[in-house]
Structure 1
Amino acid sequence: MQIAVRPGIVAPIVVARRLSLALRTLLSVLIWALPVPAQDGVSVTGSVRETGGNALGGAKVTLVNQETQAKEETVTNEAGTFTFTQVPQGHYRVQVEARDFDSYETSIQVGTNELASLEVKLRVRTVQEEVLVRPDTSDDRLSPESNTDSMKVDETFFNGLPLEVDYLQPFIDTFTSPATQGSEGASVVVDGVDGGELDMPTSAIRALKINRNPYSAEFQHPGSARAEITTKHGHKHRYDGSLAFYARNSAFDARNAFATTNPNLNRRFVEGGFGGLLPGGKGSFFLAGQRLMNDQSAVVNSLDTVALSGPLNLNVPTPQRRDHLFTRTHWSLTEMQTLSLNYTFSDQSTQNNGVGALTLPEQGFSTGRHTHRVQLVDSVVFSPTFRNEAIFVFRNQEDRTGSPPSGPEIQVNGAFTGGPSQSFDGKERRAFDVQDTATYISGKHSVIFGATTRNDFWNVFDATNFGGTFVFSSLAEYTSVVQNHIGTPDLFQVNQGHPRVSFLAQQTSGFAEDTFRALPNLSITFGLRYDWQNTLDDRNNIAPRLALAFSPGTKKRTVVRAGAGIFYDNLPRPITGDALLLDGFRVREIDIPFPSYPDPFVGGQAAPPLPSVTRVASDARAPFLLQASVGVEEQIGRGTWLSLEYAFLHGTHLFRVRDVNAPLSSTGLRPDPNFSNLEETESTAFVRGHALTLTVRGGWGTHFKGYAQYVFSKYINDVSTNGPGVYLFPADNDDLRGEVGRADFDRRHRVNFTGIVQFPVGFRVGSILSVASGAPFDISTGVDPNGDTLARPPGVSRNTGQGPGLVQLDVRLTKLFPLKSASNGERHHSRNSLEFSVDAFNVINHTNVTSIVGVVSSPLFEEASAAGPARTLQLSAKYLF
């Protein structure tokens, strides 16, 4: 029989096949260059059927080594059968999962002889035990959620990596794209709710996904800037738990590159978790907690403030304490309805925060955060094709920073910052979220739609800079004024007034998305999203999203993906609070150019100083990113895929801060004589860039699992930030052409890798590698003529300086010791085990510079002033029961 092919699709098929051949050839060379583990062991086979006897194709089968926790996965064929080849001797756990069926688990012993085929029967499940917003389609290669450049870290993989177990944000930042992040950083989604935080014990995290479904209409930000966390729930058939202890000490660490003596470090971390069946058998529970006691130090590396020459190197204690508690209770109200209640508690505190590099010890201030979070999830299955999930979240958070300053701060550009810290603020937040999401499946269509509303009630106290700040343009000027009593500082700034304000921030969004299987080898996903916020007068934020997945062959070893979408962003909360506080009435910001020292008000003022005002432009609108990409994926082994993707990014109406009352260059006068600076947040900035990404994800049998990615990119924008939601003034407020330059995050080459290698006798090695070319830095004169920002030398644009590269290699070595249970017949006896690990962070002890002096008038110009931690070792022990 001849198959007719439409002329319109011949070219894409030919191109895809040529790309497939090229990728296979490239990978063949790489595979021949790799060491191949010995091919020994036997085959494990079986069949999966439903209780009625029909074969179940597409069921996920996982084989887990109970000693090493190494995993191998496969999927049953149309006849319902599966096979694992070359399985070494040992105790294994077999897990079988299929959509709309109860999961199955059993233990087997693999020896030298072939095993009898396993016969597995699955019972139809009327309601899911765990809360899911959508059916799992990760095994469908044409699903928009199966993109190769996505990352999934499950509990087993997670336990083998050298991570900062008390804080996962650095790991998330490593594998997300800074170019697509919103104004307040990477998006964290916890159990389906966007806008979450990492305020839970790491032992409560079951899975972490990054860049899943990049163009999903369900979420506000792109997948490359999104991390989705799924928390654990207790088992309904057993009780289990874990207890772990981690320790570090400076006696085992290398010295920081900018310290003359090794900074003190004594870090202790304890965490544990326990869960199981609730009395009555209708539900389950899970409880996790952790405590961090971190007595560390910051390294001050500035000029000597007494001799006013030569280096000043100090190690300043900066102790931290963090406590987290998480509980989850899950009930099956009926066969068709489940209810889940989560509670999270977090208490964090630090001392001597803000010290380090050019910031002197007296600048240290304390911080604290106290958080309660309650989440209620109601999941109902109305029919086999329709389900609904309603989520209610309440958060109560209190933050405090610093204390009333005892005097003014001294800021010498490019040399040091001393005097009492001017940080003194407190915030109370009470937030209530309501989210409803429904999934409907009909034939070739899988539709998901929903809406979210968020109400944040803020009570803000901000007495920052109520002690004032003297600004000196250079060390020479500071020496002349302080020692020789000649001249004046450049500027004195101080805030005065009643620093309290309360406000309500509201956000509402709705979305609908349809994934349509147009052909057996073609999947089309189209979505539409709408976002609204009450802090901006902007009502037309409609964001279409589109994703395609096409497989030119019958075996689906090659997948071509393309997508495009618009993503809107929010106005950062600090900007809203500052605009309400620093309005010239509640709080007056006073700028005095060339003041007397040390009393800026000596002799009185001929006229009251003019206030500076902070506001949001009346025509400001929500920023949006336009992202488009096309790529090809190729299966290069069982469960191993390689992808090559090109992505284009263009963002407009991005936020920036500008002094719209800066003195005119022609007259030297301010346009509005009633004010000093008018610090206005506008949506006039842009970002533009391209990225070529090569990703390999998968492994080789039970010996290795990993994820590797190389990114070649270039990004240009015209605004710089000093942290999430904090924007820096342009050097020339009337001419923004000099602001166009490399983005702060522009690193031309980036390589990220994470993987785990399983060795015999229970040994395991996990590693995380990050390599990147240098980021740019800005160059300035050190002079602030208008009291808003530093000017640049003539002809120098933003981010002209070039910083050094980054190399960070972290390694964990683990040895697992299985423990015998009281009953050898206990089904899950492998859960009883001990793990001992040694972590080495920055194992090659590379100096990763984090700050470079860009002030031309500084003696330290173009010199590094701070670096990341040197090599550190961590010892840990973990008991699983």
Structure 2
Amino acid sequence: MISGTVADSSGAIIPGAEIDLTDATGATVVKTTTDASGAFQVKAPRAGNYNVQVSINGFQPATKTVTVTSSATPAAPVSFTLAVAEAVQQVTVNAGSQVDLTSSDSNGNTSVMSASDMKDLPIFDNDYVTAMSSFLDGGSEGTSGSGLMVDGMEANRALVSPSAVQEVRINQDPYSAQYFWPGRGQIDIITKQAADAYHGEFNFTFRDSAMNAQEDFSPSKPYEQRQIYEGSLTGPVAHSKSTMFLFSLNRAVEDLTAVVNATVAPTAENPDGVYNENVPAPTTDTEFSIKIGHQFTDSHSASVMYSFQNAHNTNSGVGNQTLPEAGYDTQTREDDLTLHDNYIVSGSMLNEASLALERSYDPVKDVQEGPMLVVSGNYTGGSAQADQLNTEYNLRANEMLTWTVGPHTLKFGVNVPHFGRRVRDDMTNEDGTYTFSPTYAADGSVIATSIENQQAGVPSGFSMANGQTRFVYHQQEVGAFVQDQIKLKPWFSVTPGLRYDWQTFPGDTNNFSPRISFAWVWDQKHEMVLRGGAGVYFDRSGSGPLIDLARYQDAKRRLMELSSNQETLCYPITNCIDTATLPVSYVELQQGIRTPYDVEYGLTLERKVGEKGVVSVGGRISRWTGLYRSIDENAPLGPDYTTRPNPNISQLRQIQSEGKQIGSALDINYRGRFNKRFTGFAWYTLANSGNNTDGISWFPENQRDPEAEWGPSSWEQRNKFGVYGAINPQHLLNLGVGVFANSGKPWSILTGTDAYGTDLFNARPDGVPRNSEIGPDYADVDLRWGYDFKLQPKEVDKSPTLGFSVSSFDVLNHPNGSYVDTTEGSTDFGQVTSAYAPRRTQLAMRFQF
């Protein structure tokens, strides 16, 4: 049995494509067409080598060679990505296939997880997005984080359940002007389309603490249980041949436990002050989607999809040094309505349009009310002081035209990722936050610990907010691009492009991003291809600075920040200070602030290995200019740092674009089918990155000397290695494998004091640079075994299947630390105080028809 899928270059599924299976003599032995989900299945009459040929009007035909070991054993699924038809087709082909090696779709440095991979690999909780995030590069993400694309449009989440996902990609075309982010800065999800025949898949996943190892730092093995009910169903609407539906559902219920490992004030019952407790933190998540697709003609199709999510989390934020009383409960409610339209204008022109409407509702509620107590290096308690409600109404739109003329494949597009109205009801920090620090002698010895100062009621810093609570603000982002893939020779193509982006913050207009890439088939016999490119990528700030400006630019939200450097503080603050008379803080923009931008360039050499595998070796360099940071322009002056220049203002936070970052990386990747025994992908990255800022909300230690902050980037992991592979897939004796090993991330030694009188508490010991230390390494091995039983063995191609699997994560139970106590005056300074989860076992059952 040979199965696969057919899609266009954007990932949109192509129904109605003709599939011809030819044998070694060139004779056609089987014919079929792809269904409405772009999928096909053909049964080979006997073992041997076959060519699978795909053709449809308006697209270039494609051919791939498939080896069938026996007529009863399914071959590995094959996927086709068709390019729009050219007037004169120029391709460099490999032996027996019609794959354009210069196309971005053949990029050997791409990380791809298919629907069949999701079934064969050890993926925790079926969370393929987190699994694929290992391939992302922190230096390419920017202020608002990495990007998520679903069927060519930006999204907040995957929108469909895992069984309705066709493929997940990273780094498909790293220098394309079509995308906002660099290749390793975004994840592309291609969902399945509605089919014209009834098909379904239902999965049940189960975990229980009885099958797990005990967590590090936990006083005892806590009770935990996870149940996930997931599935999808597709088919025609009322037996229609042109209208189909796809329904997907994901319901997850988890009894989680947070491990608190803190030091609190000693009592008669607890003379050592050790606080080590398992705290229940249950979660629930319900998601579903319904998609209706309609095929108007052979050249015109459209779909509409509604997606829903409602998630609840209890005792969020609890764990490590955060006590249960400082937890908060959250809800995430999101409704999405998405419309897609694909129209083949002519044999050489394809138009794709998308429109999405989103509504989100996200309340946050403290577990208990009262002031927050931050006892540096020991614990955070009192209350989370996080009460708020965030709502958003947003519109997204995409329009792209692909036009092939001779050797040119042109793409024109407009993107509107955000045209939104946001509202925040902000009640955060209304009861105030007290920070207690150690007291040091001149020689650096500790005179009083943070806990002793907390017991004495002597805080080092205090902040509180009041005033206006409701803020309405708008976030708009617009982009446009043009790109031309030019086939100069059968063995060489070049793709220049230009992109333009604008966003509400900071509002500058000169954001043009030229990009270019090339592909040169160096050795056709061994499919050796040299790829390279360069491009400019502008940053995206997200909504963070917009809400800060709405609250604090005119001090509509009164934020008061005090340091004991300016005056003596007490607990509670009302015993010594009238808070109504305190000066407030402001936020302003640096004059001439601009959008940060990244210049990336690199080269990659790839070569075929094994049956259908590709190994690639490449290097890339990234240079960020004008990164965001914050500076307190009203910071107290030295040498005693006791007096602010303007006593009528507390903190004057100025958002600047003066930071820099330089990074480089060596990447070694493998993906594909090596032989009938192994299919998978692997990667190794040796990286180096340095910068002088940690983002838009980050302040330097000394506000008067921000350039002294140069050090390793906080996200840097010098070595990253990972393997996802399936051994003997679809055989009874199969094994899915995941192996991961990463270097630790940098961290800074802190005194825990407010030495500069800014209420920031980010001071380091004299002469100690930022990010001078390296955190714990990470390593784990994950394994999975599973098998699908045919319920009607005599009809292999039509038989429903019932599958069972067992997965184990961190099989060797290797301890992996997640946090280091960074406060020099703490008794746990420099020690790991929390860890990632230990060995866990996951059972799953799947029914498919």
Decide which moves more: 628-637 or 577-586.
577-586
Could you tell me which residue of structure 2 aligns to residue 829 of structure 1?
798
* SS in structure 1 of the partner of residue 581 of structure 2: coil
Could you tell me which residue of structure 1 aligns to residue 557 of structure 2?
587
Query: 1:44, 1:84 within 8 Å by CA — same for their partners in 2?
Result: no
Q: CA deviation at 1:172?
A: 2.7
Query: In structure 1, how many angstroms separate the alpha carbons of the residues matched to 2:43 and 2:781?
Result: 28
Q: CA deviation at 1:86?
A: 6.8
Equivalent AA in structure 2 for residue 573 of structure 1: S
Query: 2:494, 2:516 within 8 Å by CA — same for their partners in 1?
Result: yes
Residues 560 and 500 (structure 1 numbering): CA distance in 2 closer, same or farther, change over 3 Å?
Answer: same
Residues 751 and 241 (structure 1 numbering): CA distance in 2 closer, same or farther, change over 3 Å?
Answer: same
Same amino acid, percent of matched pairs: 27
Query: 1:781, 1:791 within 8 Å by CA — same for their partners in 2?
Result: yes
Residues 1:360 and 2:320 are matched in the alignment: no
Q: How does 1:785-804 map onto structure 2 within 5 Å?
A: 785-804=757-776
Q: How does 1:670-685 map onto structure 2 within 5 Å?
A: 670-685=644-659
Query: 1:752, 1:769 within 8 Å by CA — same for their partners in 2?
Result: yes
Equivalent AA in structure 2 for residue 155 of structure 1: A
Residues 1:652 and 2:625 are matched in the alignment: yes
Q: CA deviation at 1:316?
A: 0.5
Decide which moves more: 747-756 or 667-676.
667-676
Query: 1:404, 1:422 within 8 Å by CA — same for their partners in 2?
Result: no
1:248-299 Cα shifts (integer Å, max 9, x gaps): 1111111111112112211111111110122331121110101000001011
Query: TM (normalized to structure 2)?
Result: 0.87
Could you tell me which residue of structure 2 aligns to residue 697 of structure 1?
671
Q: CA deviation at 1:561?
A: 1.0
Could you tell me which residue of structure 1 aligns to residue 742 of structure 2?
772
Equivalent AA in structure 2 for residue 829 of structure 1: K
Q: CA deviation at 1:224?
A: 1.0
Query: 1:165, 1:202 within 8 Å by CA — same for their partners in 2?
Result: no
Query: 2:208, 2:226 within 8 Å by CA — same for their partners in 1?
Result: yes
Structure 1: segments with no counterpart, 5+ residues: 1-42, 53-58, 103-123, 125-136
Q: CA deviation at 1:728?
A: 2.5
Residues 1:415 and 2:378 are matched in the alignment: yes
Given candidates 834, 842, 848, the residue that maps to 1:866 is 834
Residues 1:270 and 2:233 are matched in the alignment: no
Query: In structure 2, how many angstroms separate the alpha carbons of the residues matched to 1:761 and 1:804?
Result: 38
Could you tell me which residue of structure 2 aligns to residue 568 of structure 1?
538
Residues 548 and 482 (structure 1 numbering): CA distance in 2 closer, same or farther, change over 3 Å?
Answer: closer
1:800-835 Cα shifts (integer Å, max 9, x gaps): 1111211022211112211117xx56x8424x1111
Q: Supply the RMSD in Å over aligned alpha carbons.
A: 3.1
Q: CA deviation at 1:699?
A: 2.2
Could you tell me which residue of structure 2 aligns to residue 305 of structure 1?
265
* SS in structure 1 of the partner of residue 762 of structure 2: coil
Could you tell me which residue of structure 2 aligns to residue 120 of structure 1?
none
Query: In structure 2, how many angstroms separate the alpha carbons of the residues matched to 1:695 and 1:758?
Result: 21
Could you tell me which residue of structure 2 aligns to residue 56 of structure 1?
none
1:595-626 Cα shifts (integer Å, max 9, x gaps): 54432022444992111123333422111111
Query: In structure 1, how many angstroms separate the alpha carbons of the residues matched to 2:432 and 2:619?
Result: 50
Could you tell me which residue of structure 2 aligns to residue 550 of structure 1?
520
* SS in structure 2 of the partner of residue 203 of structure 1: helix
Query: 1:842, 1:870 within 8 Å by CA — same for their partners in 2?
Result: yes
Could you tell me which residue of structure 1 aligns to residue 293 of structure 2?
330
Query: In structure 2, how many angstroms separate the alpha carbons of the residues matched to 1:646 and 1:101?
Result: 28
Query: 2:44, 2:71 within 8 Å by CA — same for their partners in 1?
Result: no
Residues 697 and 97 (structure 1 numbering): CA distance in 2 closer, same or farther, change over 3 Å?
Answer: closer
Residues 1:537 and 2:512 are matched in the alignment: no
Q: How does 1:808-827 map onto structure 2 within 5 Å?
A: 808-820=780-792
Residues 1:621 and 2:594 are matched in the alignment: yes
1:350-383 Cα shifts (integer Å, max 9, x gaps): 0000000010111111000100001111111110
Residues 299 and 332 (structure 1 numbering): CA distance in 2 closer, same or farther, change over 3 Å?
Answer: same
* SS in structure 2 of the partner of residue 538 of structure 1: coil
Residues 314 and 44 (structure 1 numbering): CA distance in 2 closer, same or farther, change over 3 Å?
Answer: farther
Q: CA deviation at 1:498?
A: 1.5
Could you tell me which residue of structure 1 aligns to residue 686 of structure 2?
712
Query: In structure 1, how many angstroms separate the alpha carbons of the residues matched to 2:808 and 2:25?
Result: 41
Q: How does 1:714-733 map onto structure 2 within 5 Å?
A: 714-720=688-694, 727-733=697-703
Q: CA deviation at 1:72?
A: 10
Query: In structure 2, how many angstroms separate the alpha carbons of the residues matched to 1:50 and 1:509?
Result: 48
1:472-496 Cα shifts (integer Å, max 9, x gaps): 013934444454x4x7210111111
Q: CA deviation at 1:74?
A: 6.4
Q: How does 1:174-193 map onto structure 2 within 5 Å?
A: 174-193=134-153
Decide which moves more: 372-381 or 167-176.
167-176
Given candidates 804, 807, 832, the residue that maps to 2:779 is 807
Could you tell me which residue of structure 1 aligns to residue 442 of structure 2?
none
Given candidates 106, 116, 138, the residue that maps to 1:146 is 106
Query: 2:49, 2:65 within 8 Å by CA — same for their partners in 1?
Result: no
Given candidates 471, 474, 485, the residue that maps to 2:438 is 474
Structure 2: segments with no counterpart, 5+ residues: 1-21, 32-37, 55-59, 86-96, 440-447
Residues 805 and 736 (structure 1 numbering): CA distance in 2 closer, same or farther, change over 3 Å?
Answer: same
Given candidates 83, 90, 114, the residue that maps to 2:72 is 90
Query: 1:183, 1:569 within 8 Å by CA — same for their partners in 2?
Result: yes
Query: In structure 2, how many angstroms separate the alpha carbons of the residues matched to 1:659 and 1:73?
Result: 68
Could you tell me which residue of structure 2 aligns to residue 661 of structure 1?
634
Decide which moves more: 327-336 or 283-292.
327-336
* SS in structure 2 of the partner of residue 90 of structure 1: coil
Residues 673 and 596 (structure 1 numbering): CA distance in 2 closer, same or farther, change over 3 Å?
Answer: closer
Could you tell me which residue of structure 2 aligns to residue 744 of structure 1?
714
Q: CA deviation at 1:554?
A: 4.1
Q: CA deviation at 1:305?
A: 3.3
Given candidates 592, 602, 609, the residue that maps to 2:575 is 602
Q: CA deviation at 1:459?
A: 0.9
* SS in structure 2 of the partner of residue 580 of structure 1: helix
Query: 2:436, 2:454 within 8 Å by CA — same for their partners in 1?
Result: no
Query: In structure 2, how many angstroms separate the alpha carbons of the residues matched to 1:73 and 1:61?
Result: 15
Q: CA deviation at 1:648?
A: 0.6
* SS in structure 1 of the partner of residue 655 of structure 2: strand
Residues 466 and 94 (structure 1 numbering): CA distance in 2 closer, same or farther, change over 3 Å?
Answer: closer
Query: In structure 2, how many angstroms separate the alpha carbons of the residues matched to 1:689 and 1:437?
Result: 33
Query: 1:72, 1:701 within 8 Å by CA — same for their partners in 2?
Result: no
Given candidates 338, 341, 346, the residue that maps to 1:375 is 338
* SS in structure 1 of the partner of residue 575 of structure 2: coil
Equivalent AA in structure 2 for residue 743 of structure 1: S
Query: 1:656, 1:684 within 8 Å by CA — same for their partners in 2?
Result: yes
Residues 649 and 83 (structure 1 numbering): CA distance in 2 closer, same or farther, change over 3 Å?
Answer: closer
Query: In structure 2, how many angstroms separate the alpha carbons of the residues matched to 1:346 and 1:747?
Result: 33
Equivalent AA in structure 2 for residue 496 of structure 1: N
Query: TM (normalized to structure 1)?
Result: 0.84
* SS in structure 1 of the partner of residue 102 of structure 2: coil
1:754-788 Cα shifts (integer Å, max 9, x gaps): 11112675343212221111211111111013212
How many aligned residue pairs are there? 786
Given candidates 167, 182, 189, the residue that maps to 1:222 is 182
Could you tell me which residue of structure 1 aligns to residue 173 of structure 2?
213
Q: CA deviation at 1:461?
A: 1.2
